[in-house]
């Protein structure tokens, strides 16, 4: 498995390309803009993008979806709760995905790209439909869990108690050496966050 990060869009969100090195099949997680830069990395990797996975519906993670889908013809996937908020035009959600998302994700859904299996995990709190994507010893946590911090909960649909519960019940139970690839900022590990993240200390 090969993972490349592109810092994309005006808010500097982390976009990830995850590729099966044997076949080139890939997913793109959270294309938040700067699609030209994302496509350059995809082409340099020799990736064939099969899915676009969205951790949540905020504009800084979704702005490049339509353009990237037009280029790759990938299947766009998001949790229904955030898809509904995009459709309603709620503040900070969107832009509208032309034709709507292709697949609405639920907790426990599996996305496969050849030999890589990605598990979709509900981690609400930053948004009602927030999801993390787990594969091997990698967790793509969107704006739920950051290195040394957690996602904001003061936007529409945010819930502080929910995000803490999501992290503690769905993420901190992972192996301590699991890598955390967040929606902004540097990567970390589950063990580092368990021990050092000030929001997660009892």
Local structure of residue 165 (DSSP, 8 states): H
Q: 101: which 2 tokens? A: 């998302």
Determine contact, residues 153/128, Cβ cutoff 8 Å: no
Query: Token pair of 33, please?
Result: 């803009």
pLDDT at res. 18: 98
Regarding beta strands 149-150 and 188-189, do their DSSP bridges make them parallel or antiparallel, or are they unpaired? unpaired
Per-residue confidence at 19, pLDDT binned at 50, 70, 90?
very high
Report yes or no: 74 and 101 within 8 Å, Cβ to Cβ.
no
The whole-number pLDDT of residue 50 equals 98
List for the chain the helix, strand, coil content (%; round to 5): 25, 35, 40
CATH number at residue 103: 3.60.15.10
| Cβ atoms 84, 62 nearer than 8 A | no
Average pLDDT (105-131) is 97
Domain count of the fold of the chain: 1
Confidence of residue 151 (pLDDT cuts 50, 70, 90): very high
Tens-digit pLDDT profile for residues 47-65: 999 999 999 999 999 999 9
- pLDDT of amino acid 197: 98
Asked whether the whole model's pTM tops 0.85, one would answer yes
Convert the pLDDT of each residue in 64-90 to its tens digit: 999 999 999 999 999 999 999 999 999
Query: What does the pLDDT read at residue 202?
Result: 77
Q: Which domain holds residue 183?
A: 2-200
pLDDT value at position 98?
77
| pLDDT at position 97 over 90 | no
């Amino acid at each position: 498995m090969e993972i490349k990060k592109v810092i994309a869009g005006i808010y500097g969100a982390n976009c990830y390309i995850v590729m099966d090195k044997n076949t080139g099949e890939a997913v793109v997680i959270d294309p938040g803009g700067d699609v030209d830069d994302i496509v350059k990395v995809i082409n340099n990797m020799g990736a064939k993008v099969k899915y676009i996975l969205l951790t949540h519906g905020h504009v800084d993670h979704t702005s490049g979806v339509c353009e990237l889908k037009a280029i790759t013809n990938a299947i766009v996937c998001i949790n229904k709760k955030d898809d509904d908020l995009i459709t309603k035009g709620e503040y900070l959600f969107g832009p509208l995905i032309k034709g709507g998302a292709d697949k609405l994700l639920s907790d426990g859904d599996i996305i496969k790209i050849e030999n890589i299996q990605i598990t979709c995990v509900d981690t609400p709190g930053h948004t009602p439909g927030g999801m993390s994507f787990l594969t091997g010893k990698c967790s793509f946590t969107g704006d739920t869990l950051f290195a040394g911090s957690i996602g904001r909960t003061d936007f529409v649909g945010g819930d502080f108690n929910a995000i803490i519960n999501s992290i503690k019940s769905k993420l901190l139970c992972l192996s301590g050496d699991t890598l955390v690839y967040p929606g902004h900022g540097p990567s970390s590990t589950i063990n580092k966050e368990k021990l050092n993240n000030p929001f997660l200390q009892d």
